[in-house]
Amino acid sequence: MSIKELLFAVADIWMIVVGFTYGIKFIRNYKNYLLGIEWIIVATSGTNFLIYGLLKAGHDSPMYFAASFLDAFSRSVGITLILVLGLMAVTHRYKPSVAVDVGAFALAAVVGFALVGYTETFGTPAKIFFIVVTVLTTIFLLYFVKRLWEIGERGHAVWAAISAACSFVIAAIYDFVPIPGDDAEHTIFYILALSTWGLQMFVFYRAYRAFDDHNKRVDAQAVAGDAPVTA
């Protein structure tokens, strides 16, 4: 195994561990199925990608199709619309219905299937679509960072800003900027991308937890303030 292959495996395993660990925590601790399931889907995608890479399977492998589908699933709706709706649970006290949860993932599945092999079928319009949804998502993430800063969670705000910036750069170069010296399988790119996506899931879980703790403190203070005064 070459150094590049080792780094790829390490980056992928990092993303897998983070995705499964904090996906389960989102569901168990916060009943946030949008973020929890999406984190788990990303981890599942990483697991498939790791096996695909280690086996050096070809593009005719079912694992390649699965990787393409899961990639399109998350890039189009998962780490865009679903991420925003999930974070709104703390920024706007938003509680989606079961129908919204199911509908969001159903939409992601439909779009994911439609965009499998998008470079050959849709070409540049699909690439532009991915950039547009990334820009819109990043705008919301910057708002999330601003809210974290305002509630005094400045450490989490800084890390969330760094993570959002790194994720935006990865998304921006994904289809348009080949990395000099990279191989045909884009190993260097994926080392950077997998590391970044793992960081994003790690940072945003911790930021979400801090925001939720803040909301609980605010609620407790409001209850204490409304309590009747006894003699």
Q: Express each pLDDT in 44-80 by its tens digit.
A: 999 999 998 888 877 788 998 999 999 999 999 999 9
CB of 179 closer than 8 Å to CB of 189: yes
Asked if 34 and 96 count as a contact pair (C-beta separation under 8 A), the reply is: yes
Q: Is the pLDDT of residue 2 over 80?
A: yes
Check residue 179 and report its DSSP letter: P
- Mean pLDDT of all residues in 158-186: 91
Distance CA 206, CA 157 (A): 10
For residue 113, what are its two tokens? 């299937």
**What does the pLDDT read at residue 186?**
86
Rounded alpha-carbon distances, angstroms, from residue 201 to 38, 197, 227: 10, 6, 39
Tens digit of each residue's pLDDT (9 = 90 or more) over 5-49: 899 999 999 999 999 999 999 999 999 999 999 999 999 999 999
- As a whole number, mean pLDDT of residues 154-180 equals 94
Please report the pLDDT score of residue 185 as a whole number.
80
Structure tokens at 51: 């096996």
As a residue count, the chain comes to 231
Burial class (CB in 10 A: 0-12, 13-18, 19+), 23: buried
Q: What is the predicted pLDDT for the residue at 226?
A: 66
CB 24 within 8 A of CB 206: no
Class of domain 3-221 as given by CATH: mainly alpha
Residue ranges of the domains in the chain?
3-221
The per-residue pLDDT for range 90-125, each reduced to its tens digit, is 999 999 999 999 999 999 999 999 999 887 788 889
Reading the block at residue 56, the tokens are 């050096």
The pair of three-digit structure tokens given for residue 59, joined into one six-digit string: 């593009």
pTM exceeding the 0.85 threshold for the entire prediction: yes
- State the average pLDDT over residues 204-214: 98
| pLDDT at 228 (0 to 100) | 60
CB 145 within 8 A of CB 164: yes
pLDDT, mean over the chain: 93
Rounded to whole angstroms, the Cα distance separating 214 from 208 reads 10
Q: Let me know: does 39 contact 23? Beta carbons within 8 Å.
A: yes
- DSSP-derived 3-state class of residue 160: helix
